[in-house]
Amino acid sequence: MKKNYAFPIIILIGLLFLSFSQPLIAASGKININTATKKELVTLKQVGDKIADRIIEYRKDNPFEKIEDIMKVKGIGQKVFDANKQLITVADD
């Protein structure tokens, strides 16, 4: 008897799609830079692991009061801020 492998393959493809698209889903809403995880922070434009770590370290002693404060973090200048200002928040929306 011939087995039908189509259904398990479709499920596997769907699960893979969900796991790889999670950063895209997270980026669809605003990211609170005071509470975001490293995984969420790296979804921002031009923010990699090192800058995400710097954001997390900086906010431990200096919570962000306004989104512009993110430029106080080493490695984040006007260009990076401009690329992300529509994507970030400091308030719980």
What pLDDT was estimated at residue 22? Answer: 52
**Res. 88: pLDDT tops 50:** yes
Among residues 61, 19, 59, the alpha carbon closest in space to that of 38 is found at 59
What pLDDT was estimated at residue 25? Answer: 47
| Domains of the chain, each with CATH number or no CATH | 6-89 (1.10.150.320)
What pLDDT was estimated at residue 3? Answer: 67
pTM: 0.69
pLDDT digits (tens, 9 = 90+) for 32-55: 999 999 999 999 999 999 999 999
pLDDT digits (tens, 9 = 90+) for 60-77: 999 999 999 999 999 999
Radius of gyration of the chain measured on its C-alpha atoms:
18
What pLDDT was estimated at residue 20? Answer: 61
**Helix H or strand E segment including 72:** none
What are the residues whose beta carbons fall under 8 Å from the beta carbon of 58, sequence distance 6 or more? 72, 73
What residue has token string 């259904």?
Answer: 7
